[in-house]
Structure 1
Amino acid sequence: MSNAAKSLLFLTLLSGISALLLPEDPLGNAALIVCGSMFGLFLLALLVGRKIKFDPILR
């Protein structure tokens, strides 16, 4: 896992915990939106950091 993916995972967990602890105000909804966007960026960082090797000759 790359450093960017690790930091995005940490930010996702941090925003998810803050969304659970904040009351149901607009700040709570904003924390959920931030959590979802960080999770999406985390998945994107995992896909970009993965090196896929393609072997055209099936053995």
Structure 2
Amino acid sequence: MDVLLTLMLSVVYRADTLLMESRQMIGLIAAFLAAVLAAQLGWHGTDRLIAWRQGSSED
């Protein structure tokens, strides 16, 4: 019985450690994706703004 309890506790401890380590990587990946999406949106928004201003100056 003690062996089974020790095994279960070690599995829970390892899963908790793995989760804590993976949270940092998930955070870094999420931050990178947010930066890429913000850059893409900024680029697209700037293109639209330039096109809108050029279109209004041609009138």
Larger Rg: 2
Higher relative contact order (CA closer than 8 Å, sequence separation 6+): 1
Band the TM-score falls in, shorter-chain normalisation: 0.3 to 0.5
Q: TM-score, normalised by structure 2?
A: 0.46
TM-score where L is the length of structure 1: 0.46
